[in-house]
Structure 1
Amino acid sequence: MVVTTGNPVPDYEAMPHRFELQILAYDEAGANDLQILTIQVLDIPEPPMFLGNLKYQTVMIYQFEGSPSGNIYQISVSTPVKYSMTPASPLFSVSGTGTISSLKVFDYEKDPHSYMLNITATDHLGRNTSGTLIVTIINKNDEQPYFTMKQRAFSVLEESLPGTMVANVTAKDPDDGEGVSSLRFSINNPEGIPSFSIDAVTGVLLVARRIDRDLDPLREHPNITLIIRVDDRPSGGQYAETEIVVTIEDINDKPPECDKYNYRREIKETARPGEIILDLKDCCRDYDAELRNQLFNFTGLSGVGSSKFTQDPPGSGRIKLIGNMDLENATDGAEKEEYTLTTEVQNIAFPYYANIIYIYVKIQPVNEFKPVFSDASYAFNVSEIAAVYSRIGQVIATDKDVPPTGISYSISVGKGNPNFSEIFWIDPTGGYLTIIARLDYETWQSAILTVQASDNDGESVTVPVTVNVLEANDEPPICSPNSYLLNIPVDQTSGSVAGFHITCVDRDSSPRSFRYSFDSGNVNNHFAFSPNAGSNVSRLILASPFDFESGLDKIWNYRLKVFITDDNLLSVGDRATVRIETGTVTLTINVIPKPTTEAPTTPRVIILTSRENVYSALAWYVPFIISLGSVILLGLLAYLTFWLAKYIRAHCPPKPRAPKPRADKQPLKATGGRWVGMRQQQELTLSRRST
């Protein structure tokens, strides 16, 4: 029996229509027989069936919007059929061959997004089959986005912090539908001021950095034009641009500024009330951009001296004097030489920024008065023996000017002697009159000087000063002859004139004021002067005879030093302070022996040497230079000695000394009846061996 396998309802069109089967029959003995069986498959009419995907499921067809009309799908069936579409649609059609076509260009934003097509296939026997096609319209980026906000002008305050919101830019894309927006925002600043940024997703316009309205170009042009661009996705698609204007509003963020905040002014003490000393309005300004923020005024004056100054009008900054500045005629006790005023320059607009200004007003004294001497004239007495650089008196002048202008003194040309300026000197600051040269009563007895007192501004006044020179005993007696050689016989009688007389003169003493005495050499008082006082002429006499025979006298040659002293007591009330001037005369006396008297065999030679060591205090530099030179010379010698020793030590090293023999520390050992050291013992042993 032959049976079929596989699909019990075979597909006639899909399988062979004829099968030939070879059937082999054989027995156990091995005999067989072969027969051919032919099977013919007959076609039985069936209803039409869709082929392909439509046979098993609903077919999804996707169509881009804007695509041109035309064929969109081809239907396949098992048998020839006629096609129909239900419900009939003006948007789609099906041809007799099963071709489905779109009849219009679809717009995703205007047309439905999906269409369901029911297709029926009917054969010639009236049998049919149905399938469903769903046509979905795919959105395409073909629409330009557009801005939805109506406002195009915005404003923001200067100095707003970065991140401050300025505007919310909104836009739409017709292609987005109800989905998530794919728009992206960007900003273009054609003016090149990067002051703003925009959130690319949300479109929020923000302050990007500090904005100063008071600087150019915003100071004159506070409006910033921005071009906002919105792009849809994907990039490179549609975009739109719009222009917005952001106005930067000025705020009062700057205090008034002045050229300086410390002003110094000087006014004369003779200034009168009403004088303007300073106008601060010309020195201050405000750099805010708008006028309402530039306005400022000045607060009232305060500080020391504010009662003497005011602002006229109030708040204007025009400082005017209203008080008295006269330093000599103070109205409120004591006028000051400097006043310190303070005021504030302050904005009129909130938050009322202010800066403190200090004004220092110095009162400049005016030389209104000349110096005035305390006396109409001065008279000073000075002894002619007064030491050089001695003060003889003081003149005093005062000045009513406040503060004192300072007075200096000088000597004008004196009357009667043009050289008085070389004799007198006056301290220019203290007014002390000093002599700078020796005075001489015998030359002139008085001097009339003109002393001038001048202030620092050249105002001067003079006063006569009379200097009376008082006579003093300052001239020594001058006698002639001042030296004399005299021979006297040894037997000359006592009381006789020795053959010498002296004549003296003194410029400041009378002839009766002289006294004569011996300083030295008058051994045994043999000699005396007659008269010894009260005359300017005196003779030498032998007061007592010589006595060589008894041996009382032994000197045959006398050297006498005679003092001639005046007794001038002029202008002296205290005798203890009497100044006595003395002159000297040197006498050399040789005693001539008698012929019967043994004369000295040895000749005597008398050498008289008179030395006078005169040292002037003005030559102080002589011992100073000598001492300084000695110290420098000693220092140089010490320096050279040091380097010489260093050189010798470096170039002449000491000779090496012989090494000191080392002590033998080995124990002693008895050898040959004596104790010797180990080293000595070794030497003895070696010597014995060699022997």
Structure 2
Amino acid sequence: MKSTFLLFILLRVVSGRRTPLLMGLPNTATVEENAPAGVSIYTFNVTGSPLSSGVVAIHPTIVNSNPLTEAFALVSAGDLMYRVVTTGNPVLDYETMPKSFDLQIFVEDTAGRTDLSTLTVQLADKNERPVFWGNMAIQTVRIYVLEGTPPGLIYRVNATDPEHGQLKYSPLPESVPFWVLENGDILSKREIDYEKDPHSYFLNITVTDPEGLNSTKTVNINIINIDDESPYFTTKQRIYRIPEEQSPGTVVANITAKDPDDEDSPSRLFYSIQSSDTYFSINPSTGVLQVTGRMDRDVPPLKLHPNVSVIVRVEDSPHGGHSSEMEITVIIGDINDNPPECNPSTFRKEINENTTAGIVLLDLRNSCKDVDVDPPNNLFSFTGLSGFGSNNFALDPAESGRLVMTESIDLENPSTPGIEVYSLAVRVQDIAPPNYSNTIYIYIRIKPVNEFFPIFSSLSYEFNVSEITKVGSTIGKVTASDADWPPSVITYSIIAGGGTKDYTNAFWISPSNGDVKILARLDYETTQKHFFTVQASDQEKTATASVTVNVLEVNDEEPICSPSFYSFQIPVSLAVGTNVNGFRIQCQDRDSDPRSFRYFIKEGNMNNHFTFSPVAGSNTSRLILASPFDYESGLDTKWIYRLLVYITDDNLLSAKNKATHLVKTGTVTLSIRVIPNPTTVTTTTPSFTVVTKRENLYLDSAWYVPFVTTLGGLMLLGLLGHLGNLLARWLCAHCPPAPRADSTPLINAPEKKKPKKEVALEMIKLNTVFDGEARDPEVFLRTYVQHWKQPLDGL
């Protein structure tokens, strides 16, 4: 912004007519260094024109300085007069700043005339006063010197002359024990004694430059006292008396002392106790001796040695210096401060409820004492008997401490039922004032006597339990009570019976509450009743009761039938209503009536060909063919039936006598193979011929047996045929033809052995069926024919 304004001014000056407005410029002025702000350097006028009437549009302004500085400014002096003055920022320093400044001053009047002129300000050197360095430049320096310090250097004053002149320090007055050298060193002339010499000196140090200008600063020298004298006690008393049991902080004595080093000022002494003492302490600054620990005159060591000696030391330094010691004695006086005490202070006595009245229960005098040292402080008596049950007890004689029982106690007495503990209080009190007292507590427990037998709520118990009740279940509860007070803890146990043929202990009773549980499964079919004896005991006396457990029958046995598995064959033409293969099933059930059995076929009865007769009400039933087979129309396709038969024991006739009506199921598995008739031909696509056996049939799982047998027979026939053909050719080639009338064979065939079992074979047509083993007869025979086709062709 300033550069823009300066350019504007220059353009105005160049463009305008040059008519001087600044009178007295250009010129040269001089200013001394370090001139303060506001010092006038030069004054000039601004001339006006007729047209402007002397009005200035832009007041004279310093638009530029060379070198740049802000140490100068223009101020108006009135009537178009202006002065160049110092600003004080920065301070003009001849030694560090340029020696000359060119100030360009610009002005413009209201007529538009301008003028620009230069004022050269030269900086003049000025003789300055010497300057102190360090702390002395800003404040009075305080110096500390120890008492008795040998003569020598104690401080060095530093000062300089801005003009680098030789400085001189003025000598000190003869009255002070110091002098100043020309280089500013302050020396002590001798050792200073704190007790004889002043404790502080103020020295005015003056330094002068060659032109005679000087500066003065003050140095304060303080003498520090050293410990060279021993303190002494001013307290004369050596024996003090105080009563025992004083509270901590109680003042015993005020010990005072003085230090010759500090006769004219408050003494700075330090007090301490040198003896190993736990009763007193001393204030290290004031010397006040106070109680810090409990002082009990009635217990050792004060009981034997009531005089306490204390060694007090006073020092003039907290860490060792000159010191003095003195011994004082504190006598601890005895006071009556302890009540009578009983050990123990609580008594517990146990007596039987039938204890005879008048017996002495306790003698309290043997357990109580007073620890006070001297009579009558250690004398006491027993007063008063109070508390619950005090009517049954008394002190005999009064104040003697002998406790006796005045009335016998019966815990079962209806007037005082169940009172087992009596709580008494006896006060033991000092005879001497202030009559301290203590209370003794006596608890008398009346020990119950077991006088009564337990009694069961019933002489016999009977529980009904289902035979399927889970092991561990609670089946009943027995209870017994005891007339003793407090009621005795009764425990229960089984002392006889409760076993079975498999378990010695089939029942268990809870010892604490009498719950009866079963430990083994109950079986109605084996045992219908169980008997055992339970006992109730109060640890001393016992009682017994009998328990009967009735086992309730539950249908928990399933029917067992014979046979459970049967396999047989029937012809396809078997008549409806026929007992299939004469099969008969017989069933048994331990917990069911024979008339409760029911029979039904659960699985495998395709087209309902089979049924049982009777279907219910008997433990014996026959398998009946209910409907004929129909393979020709394709209604039937299975040749093997696997029947899963269920036999249930509904117990409908006797269910009202059962604990729980349940149904159990037995199973029988039947395998029935239907044998086609030899003349039965069924249409199959594709059709094939199969050789079937009428006898010696094998199970389906052994299907390979007929296959191997048939295959071996075919191979044997083929081999015999081939051998016969070769033999016939050989005979035709070597033998003449035989007469036609002779039909005797040339070779008699050997006689074949009779097989063990006759096997009849027949050729039948069969459709592809599923026989339960996922074998396709068509594929089987196709494979068979292809396997043996080549050997047969060779025949």
TM-score (norm 2): 0.44
| 3-state SS of paired residue (1:254) | coil
Superposed CA deviations along residues 384-430 of structure 1, whole A, max 9, x for unmatched, are: 23232332221111112222222222212307758665321222222
Contact 2:578 2:625 in 1 (8 A): yes
Q: Sort the Cα spacing of 1:597 and 1:404 in 2 relative to 1 into closer, same or farther, 3 A.
A: farther
Tell me how far apart the structure 1 counterparts of residues 497 and 653 of structure 2 sit (CA, whole Å): 28
Query: Equivalent residue for 1:474?
Result: 556
Q: Sort the Cα spacing of 1:554 and 1:515 in 2 relative to 1 into closer, same or farther, 3 A.
A: same
Tell me how far apart the structure 2 counterparts of residues 527 and 580 of structure 1 sit (CA, whole Å): 24
Query: Equivalent residue for 1:87?
Result: none
Query: Equivalent residue for 2:328?
Result: none
Residue 464 of structure 1 is aligned with which of 535, 546, 550?
546
Contact 1:452 1:462 in 2 (8 A): yes
Contact 1:413 1:421 in 2 (8 A): no
Tell me how far apart the structure 2 counterparts of residues 477 and 523 of structure 1 sit (CA, whole Å): 25
Which amino acid is the alignment partner of residue 498 of structure 1?
A: V
Residue 354 of structure 1 is aligned with which of 432, 437, 446?
437
Query: Equivalent residue for 2:351?
Result: 267
Q: Spell out the pairing of 1:98-117 with structure 2 (5 A cutoff).
A: none
Query: Equivalent residue for 1:203?
Result: none
Q: Spell out the pairing of 1:204-353 with structure 2 (5 A cutoff).
A: 252-332=336-416, 334-353=417-436
| 3-state SS of paired residue (1:573) | helix
Tell me how far apart the structure 1 counterparts of residues 512 and 391 of structure 2 sit (CA, whole Å): 38
Residue 487 of structure 1 is aligned with which of 569, 591, 596?
569
Q: Give the C-alpha shift of residue 283 in structure 1.
A: 0.3
Tell me how far apart the structure 2 counterparts of residues 479 and 584 of structure 1 sit (CA, whole Å): 8
Q: Spell out the pairing of 1:390-409 with structure 2 (5 A cutoff).
A: 390-409=473-492
Tell me how far apart the structure 1 counterparts of residues 602 and 434 of structure 2 sit (CA, whole Å): 108
Superposed CA deviations along residues 616-661 of structure 1, whole A, max 9, x for unmatched, are: xxxxxxxxxxxxxxxxxxxxxxxxxxxxxxxxxxxxxxxxxxxxxx
Query: Equivalent residue for 1:152?
Result: none
Q: Sort the Cα spacing of 1:214 and 1:434 in 2 relative to 1 into closer, same or farther, 3 A.
A: closer
1:381 aligns with 2:548: no
Which amino acid is the alignment partner of residue 364 of structure 1?
A: K
Name stretches of at least 5 consecutive residues in structure 2 with no aligned partner.
1-240, 253-292, 308-330, 683-765, 775-795
Q: Sort the Cα spacing of 1:575 and 1:380 in 2 relative to 1 into closer, same or farther, 3 A.
A: closer
Tell me how far apart the structure 2 counterparts of residues 452 and 276 of structure 1 sit (CA, whole Å): 41
Tell me how far apart the structure 2 counterparts of residues 418 and 282 of structure 1 sit (CA, whole Å): 69
1:427 aligns with 2:594: no
| 3-state SS of paired residue (1:512) | helix
| 3-state SS of paired residue (1:300) | strand
1:601 aligns with 2:601: no
Moved more, 564-573 or 283-292: 564-573
Residue 413 of structure 1 is aligned with which of 496, 506, 527?
496
Which amino acid is the alignment partner of residue 459 of structure 1?
A: K
> Aligned residues: percent identity?
54
Q: Spell out the pairing of 1:62-101 with structure 2 (5 A cutoff).
A: none
Tell me how far apart the structure 2 counterparts of residues 304 and 576 of structure 1 sit (CA, whole Å): 60
Tell me how far apart the structure 2 counterparts of residues 570 and 431 of structure 1 sit (CA, whole Å): 39
Which amino acid is the alignment partner of residue 349 of structure 1?
A: A
Which amino acid is the alignment partner of residue 313 of structure 1?
A: P
1:512 aligns with 2:512: no
Contact 2:392 2:407 in 1 (8 A): yes
Superposed CA deviations along residues 279-302 of structure 1, whole A, max 9, x for unmatched, are: 211100123344443321112122
Tell me how far apart the structure 1 counterparts of residues 668 and 358 of structure 2 sit (CA, whole Å): 89
Q: Give the C-alpha shift of residue 530 in structure 1.
A: 1.7
Tell me how far apart the structure 2 counterparts of residues 250 and 398 of structure 1 sit (CA, whole Å): 65
Contact 1:472 1:571 in 2 (8 A): no
Tell me how far apart the structure 1 counterparts of residues 653 and 537 of structure 2 sit (CA, whole Å): 40
Q: How many residues are paired up?
A: 387
Q: Sort the Cα spacing of 1:511 and 1:576 in 2 relative to 1 into closer, same or farther, 3 A.
A: closer
Name stretches of at least 5 consecutive residues in structure 1 with no aligned partner.
1-155, 165-208, 224-246, 608-691
Contact 1:412 1:451 in 2 (8 A): yes
Tell me how far apart the structure 2 counterparts of residues 482 and 363 of structure 1 sit (CA, whole Å): 77
Contact 2:499 2:506 in 1 (8 A): no
TM-score (norm 1): 0.50
Q: Give the C-alpha shift of residue 374 in structure 1.
A: 0.6
Tell me how far apart the structure 1 counterparts of residues 660 and 299 of structure 2 sit (CA, whole Å): 95
Residue 370 of structure 1 is aligned with which of 437, 453, 467?
453
Q: Sort the Cα spacing of 1:588 and 1:290 in 2 relative to 1 into closer, same or farther, 3 A.
A: same
Tell me how far apart the structure 2 counterparts of residues 519 and 163 of structure 1 sit (CA, whole Å): 114
**RMSD, matched Cα:** 3.8
Residue 644 of structure 2 is aligned with which of 561, 579, 592?
561
Tell me how far apart the structure 2 counterparts of residues 265 and 291 of structure 1 sit (CA, whole Å): 32
Tell me how far apart the structure 1 counterparts of residues 245 and 607 of structure 2 sit (CA, whole Å): 128
Q: Spell out the pairing of 1:602-621 with structure 2 (5 A cutoff).
A: 604-606=771-773
Which amino acid is the alignment partner of residue 482 of structure 1?
A: S
Q: Spell out the pairing of 1:40-79 with structure 2 (5 A cutoff).
A: none
Contact 2:640 2:772 in 1 (8 A): no
Tell me how far apart the structure 2 counterparts of residues 411 and 314 of structure 1 sit (CA, whole Å): 57
Q: Give the C-alpha shift of residue 277 in structure 1.
A: 2.7
| 3-state SS of paired residue (1:492) | coil
Q: Sort the Cα spacing of 1:582 and 1:355 in 2 relative to 1 into closer, same or farther, 3 A.
A: same
Query: Equivalent residue for 2:134?
Result: none
Q: Sort the Cα spacing of 1:418 and 1:520 in 2 relative to 1 into closer, same or farther, 3 A.
A: closer
Which amino acid is the alignment partner of residue 475 of structure 1?
A: E
Q: Sort the Cα spacing of 1:218 and 1:506 in 2 relative to 1 into closer, same or farther, 3 A.
A: closer
Q: Give the C-alpha shift of residue 510 in structure 1.
A: 3.6
Q: Give the C-alpha shift of residue 254 in structure 1.
A: 3.0
Q: Sort the Cα spacing of 1:430 and 1:277 in 2 relative to 1 into closer, same or farther, 3 A.
A: same
Tell me how far apart the structure 2 counterparts of residues 311 and 571 of structure 1 sit (CA, whole Å): 82
Query: Equivalent residue for 1:139?
Result: none
Tell me how far apart the structure 1 counterparts of residues 658 and 372 of structure 2 sit (CA, whole Å): 97
Q: Sort the Cα spacing of 1:486 and 1:289 in 2 relative to 1 into closer, same or farther, 3 A.
A: same
Query: Equivalent residue for 2:615?
Result: 532
Contact 1:324 1:330 in 2 (8 A): no
Tell me how far apart the structure 2 counterparts of residues 542 and 508 of structure 1 sit (CA, whole Å): 31
Tell me how far apart the structure 1 counterparts of residues 599 and 294 of structure 2 sit (CA, whole Å): 116
Superposed CA deviations along residues 62-87 of structure 1, whole A, max 9, x for unmatched, are: xxxxxxxxxxxxxxxxxxxxxxxxxx
| 3-state SS of paired residue (1:524) | helix
Tell me how far apart the structure 1 counterparts of residues 468 and 558 of structure 2 sit (CA, whole Å): 13
Which amino acid is the alignment partner of residue 591 of structure 1?
A: V
Superposed CA deviations along residues 237-257 of structure 1, whole A, max 9, x for unmatched, are: xxxxxxxxxx99976443212
Tell me how far apart the structure 1 counterparts of residues 659 and 677 of structure 2 sit (CA, whole Å): 49
| 3-state SS of paired residue (2:496) | coil
Q: Give the C-alpha shift of residue 575 in structure 1.
A: 9.2
Tell me how far apart the structure 2 counterparts of residues 577 and 163 of structure 1 sit (CA, whole Å): 98
Tell me how far apart the structure 2 counterparts of residues 562 and 211 of structure 1 sit (CA, whole Å): 107
Q: Give the C-alpha shift of residue 570 in structure 1.
A: 7.8
Q: Sort the Cα spacing of 1:604 and 1:571 in 2 relative to 1 into closer, same or farther, 3 A.
A: closer
| 3-state SS of paired residue (1:281) | helix
Q: Spell out the pairing of 1:531-680 with structure 2 (5 A cutoff).
A: 531-568=614-651, 572-573=655-656, 578-595=661-678, 596-598=680-682, 599-601=766-768, 604-606=771-773
Superposed CA deviations along residues 23-42 of structure 1, whole A, max 9, x for unmatched, are: xxxxxxxxxxxxxxxxxxxx
Q: Sort the Cα spacing of 1:421 and 1:277 in 2 relative to 1 into closer, same or farther, 3 A.
A: farther
Tell me how far apart the structure 1 counterparts of residues 546 and 392 of structure 2 sit (CA, whole Å): 45
Q: Sort the Cα spacing of 1:571 and 1:538 in 2 relative to 1 into closer, same or farther, 3 A.
A: closer
Contact 2:348 2:445 in 1 (8 A): yes
Contact 2:339 2:429 in 1 (8 A): yes
